[in-house]
Amino acid sequence: MSGNNTLMKVLRFIRRYTLLVIISILLAAVSVVLTLYIPILFGEMIDHIISEGNVNMSAVGEQASLILKLILLTSAATWIMNLINNRIAFQTVRDIRAIAIRRLQGLPLSYLDSRKTGDIVSAVIADVDQLSDGLLLGFTQLFTGVITILVTLYFMFRKSVPISLLVLVLTPLSLLAARYIASRSYAMFRKQSETRGKQTALIEEMIGNEKIVKAFGYEQTASERFSEINKDLQNYSQKAVFFSSITNPTTRFVNSVTYAAVACLGAFLILKGNLTVGGLTVMLSYANQYMKPFNDISSVITELQNALACASRVFAFIEEEQEIPEKPAEMAEAEGNIRIDDVSFSYDKNSSLIENFNLTAGKGMHIALVGPTGCGKTTFINLLMRFYDVDDGSISVDDTDIRDVTRHSLRKNYGMVLQDTWLKNDTVRANIAFGRPDASDEEIIKAAKEAHSWEFIRRMPQGLDTVISDDSLSQGQKQLLCITRVMLCLPPMLILDEATSSIDTRTELQIQEAFDKLMAGRTSFVVAHRLSTIRNADIILVMKDGKIIEQGNHAGLMKQNGFYRHLYESQFALIENHA
């Protein structure tokens, strides 16, 4: 994405604040015109003082008083303009960040699964902050700078056409130098922003898994990885700053040459009687005022290039292809009749995972999925919840294709407990009532007792009002809270993916009783590695390499003497022999 395209996209966001932009431009014009009119008054004061035998102190005093008033008015206009520029910049980045978050909610899981969390966080937070700084500086300098250049030329041509033409002829030298350097600094700032995202991703990964890092002695390797990324960041940052920092000295050199040329030509015109000393003072002041915007703009090129490089990453994120558009139909409360017809799916389109999957599950049936790691059990759950869409075939709930209803209405009919728990930094009450925010305390406590989480909840300092984080509870306690969350919602269909993997055996037996009550009359899918937990399932699907290789209840599969029996005996044969 080029810098020009990115700039146009930023301007489209700014367009909604057109009125503020117009006011800012008008205030910039007032500030510039008054600032440029002041040198004329100073020039006239000088001519009043140096005129032989005609020193007019009264006129000098009046002009000094007028200059003071103009300076105060200019300061007020500049102050208000800066306030408006602040508002435009901060509201623009607020809008961009809000859209980025909304777009994040609509991205398919395939995108999120293939990106590092830290890199996405860096784009939404750090890169947008850099854009804010660049916009603020750009507004402040560009509006004033452009108007200063135009108004200065107008005043200069009124005073001396030869000097004005000289300044115009020398102007392209400064512009060409700035453009040449800026084109190279943009590429470096883009790489700097990308490397910063990698660095944030690594930091987030290491901090979030610090126990694993320490347990496996990964500290040194982690430090080496960080050092390598840090070195790349230093390299790109140094090159970006170097290219952008030489812009200002280069333009200042060109401007100094222009200033000297104006002085020489002006002195020659004074000798010819075509210009006064006061007039030369005014022209030198204007020459400096004319070149100052180029200096100011070149001095902020670092921020502007950095801002555009960061903005390009943000817009690349915003413009990512969203999930397949939904049909507006809402699914009513489901009965739980599920039919899977000839479903095929793979994450990598070059290698198959699930092929020709067929299943019919009636209301209230208890279906268990077993098989070796990587056989497609969790993938099948992702397809049921429509976290991913099938490549071929169809999945229907109560004879309705799940692609014909909104994802939200589909997922409201499922209760889900995963092996990987998730809790937000909030009270215990808010975490349990995540799916039913209007639930009463009595309903929450009842669900907690049924899920056997009430014992540890009531011992907390503030009970249900205790604020928890992901690190303040044991893995088993977090899993119990997630089970309580489902107990409270009582959905018509359940998905339990190793839901008791982090719970002790005694509590697991109690939870199993609660699950049996919960699953009564509800269609349930249970993914389990501990086969003792699914003996009573109506149907056990034995999966291998994305296909159902065996199907039946526990007794029937044991009689088949196939893959399921081999799995079962590998877990329990020794225990039963000892018993």
Per-residue confidence band for 3, with pLDDT thresholds at 50, 70 and 90 = low
| Same domain as 537, residue 430 | no
Residue pair 335/364 in contact by the 8 Å Cβ criterion: no
Backbone region of residue 532 per phi and psi (left: phi > 0; alpha: psi in -120 to 50; beta: other values): alpha
What's phi and psi for 276, nearest 5 deg?
A: -90, 170
Per DSSP, the three-state class of 339 is strand
Query: Residue 33 domain-assigned?
Result: no
| Same domain as 343, residue 303 | no
Per-residue confidence band for 574, with pLDDT thresholds at 50, 70 and 90 = very low
Query: Residue 505 domain-assigned?
Result: yes
578 pLDDT higher than 50: no
- Among the residue ranges 41-50, 178-187, 567-576, the one predicted with the least confidence is 567-576
Task: Identify the CA nearest to 46 among candidates 70, 23, 64.
Answer: 64
DSSP symbols for 90-121: HHHHHHHHHHHHHHHHHS-HHHHHTS-HHHHH
Of all residues in the chain, what percent carry a pLDDT higher than 90? Answer: 2
| Same domain as 527, residue 393 | yes
| Same domain as 539, residue 395 | yes
Distance CA 85, CA 83 (A): 5
Distance CA 487, CA 479 (A): 12
| Same domain as 280, residue 201 | yes
Query: Residue 541 domain-assigned?
Result: yes
| Same domain as 153, residue 185 | yes
| Same domain as 408, residue 288 | no
Say what the pLDDT of residue 295 is: 63
pLDDT, average across residues 3-16: 76
Q: Which two tokens stand for residue 227?
A: 């050092």
157 pLDDT higher than 70: yes
pLDDT, average across residues 381-408: 88
140-150, pLDDT tens digit by residue?
676 677 777 78
Task: Identify the CA nearest to 96 among candidates 6, 204, 225.
Answer: 6
Say what the pLDDT of residue 579 is: 43
Query: Residue 475 domain-assigned?
Result: yes
Which of 296, 318, 340 lies at the terminal end of a domain, its last residue? Answer: 318
What's phi and psi for 551, nearest 5 deg?
A: -155, 135
| Same domain as 359, residue 232 | no
Distance CA 228, CA 221 (A): 11
DSSP symbols for 340-407: EEEEEE-SSTTS--EEEEEEEE-TT-EEEEE-STTSSHHHHHHHHTTSS--SEEEEEETTEEGGGS-H
* Domain span holding position 465: 424-490
Residue pair 547/516 in contact by the 8 Å Cβ criterion: no
Query: Residue 231 domain-assigned?
Result: yes
Instruction: Find the CATH number of the domain harbouring 240.
Output: 1.20.1560.10
pLDDT, average across residues 188-195: 79
98-118, pLDDT tens digit by residue?
888 888 777 777 777 777 777
CB atoms within 10 A of CB 534: 21
Say what the pLDDT of residue 302 is: 59
Distance CA 452, CA 466 (A): 18
Q: DSSP letter at 416?
A: E
Instruction: Find the length of the chain.
Output: 579
456 pLDDT higher than 60: yes
| Same domain as 307, residue 190 | yes
Say what the pLDDT of residue 501 is: 63
Which of 435, 460, 490 lies at the terminal end of a domain, its last residue? Answer: 490
246-295, pLDDT tens digit by residue?
776 777 777 778 778 888 888 888 777 777 777 777 777 777 777 777 76
Strand order in the sheet with 338-345: 354-361, 338-345, 392-397, 400-401
Query: Residue 208 domain-assigned?
Result: yes
| Same domain as 146, residue 221 | yes
Residue pair 394/343 in contact by the 8 Å Cβ criterion: yes
Q: How many domains does the chain have?
A: 3
Instruction: Find the CATH number of the domain harbouring 562.
Output: 3.40.50.300
pLDDT, average across residues 454-480: 84
Q: Could you tell me where the DSSP H helices lie in 216-348?
A: 219-245, 247-271, 277-299, 301-318
Per-residue confidence band for 532, with pLDDT thresholds at 50, 70 and 90 = low
Query: Residue 16 domain-assigned?
Result: no
Which of 444, 471, 490 lies at the terminal end of a domain, its last residue? Answer: 490
Residue at 510: amino acid letter: Q
Higher pLDDT, 511 or 370: 370
| Same domain as 437, residue 391 | no
pTM given for the model: 0.61
Say what the pLDDT of residue 1 is: 47
pLDDT, average across residues 529-537: 73
| Same domain as 220, residue 308 | yes
- Among the residue ranges 128-137, 219-228, 365-374, the one predicted with the least confidence is 128-137
Query: Residue 48 domain-assigned?
Result: no
Residue pair 340/393 in contact by the 8 Å Cβ criterion: yes
What does the mean pLDDT of the chain come to? 79
